[in-house]
Amino acid sequence: MKETITKQLGAVLQASREIITLTDEAINHLLCDLADRIPAHQEAILAANKIDVERMDPADPMVDRLLLNPARLEAIAADIRNVASLTSPLDVVLEERMLQNGLGLKKVTVPIGVIGIIYEARPNVTFDVFALCLKSGNATVLKGGSDAMYSNIAIVELIHSVLKEHGINPDTIYLLPAEREAAAIMLNAVGYIDMIIPRGSQKLIDFVRDNAKVPVIETGAGIVHTYFDKSGDLELGKQVIFNAKTRRPSVCNALDTLIIHRDRLGDLPALVAPLLEKQVLLFADEAAFAALLGHYPDSLLQLADAEHFGTEFLSLKMSVKTVSSLEEALEHIAHYSSRHSEAIIATDAATTATFLKRVDAAVVYANTSTAFTDGAQFGLGAEIGISTQKLHARGPMALKELTTYKWIIEGNGQVRPV
pLDDT of residue 220: 66
- Report the predicted TM-score, pTM, of the whole model to 2 decimal places: 0.84
Question: Does the structure show a pLDDT above 70 at 56?
Answer: yes
Question: Does the structure show a pLDDT above 80 at 62?
Answer: no
pLDDT of residue 277: 96
Question: In this predicted model, what pLDDT tens digit does every residue of 156-204 receive, in sequence order?
Answer: 999 999 999 999 999 999 999 988 899 999 999 999 999 999 987 778 8
pLDDT of residue 109: 98
Q: Across residues 103-109, what is the average pLDDT?
A: 97
Closest CA to 158 of 7, 36, 10, 12: 36
Question: Does the structure show a pLDDT above 90 at 10?
Answer: yes
Question: In this predicted model, what pLDDT tens digit does every residue of 312-364 receive, in sequence order?
Answer: 998 999 999 999 999 999 999 999 999 999 999 999 999 999 999 999 999 99
pLDDT of residue 200: 78
Rounded CA gap, 367 and 241, in Å?
10
DSSP calls for 287-337: HHHHHHBTTB-GGGEEEPPGGGSS----SSEEEEEEESSHHHHHHHHHHH-
pLDDT of residue 175: 98
Rounded CA gap, 264 and 370, in Å?
21
Q: Are 134 and 31 in contact (CB under 8 A)?
A: yes
Domains delineated in the chain: 2-219+384-410 (3.40.605.10), 224-372 (3.40.309.10)
Question: Does the structure show a pLDDT above 70 at 389?
Answer: yes
Strand 139-143 and strand 114-119: the pairing is parallel
Question: What Å distances lie between residue 175 and 146, 159, 319, CA to CA?
Answer: 12, 11, 38
Question: In this predicted model, what pLDDT tens digit does every residue of 218-262 receive, in sequence order?
Answer: 886 789 999 999 999 999 999 999 999 999 998 889 999 999 999
What element of type H or E holds 197? strand 195-199
Q: Across residues 83-90, what is the average pLDDT?
A: 95
* β-bridge mates for residue 408, sequence order: 106
Question: In this predicted model, what pLDDT tens digit does every residue of 359-380 receive, in sequence order?
Answer: 999 999 999 999 999 887 888 8
* β-bridge mates for residue 96, sequence order: 106
Rounded CA gap, 248 and 315, in Å?
8
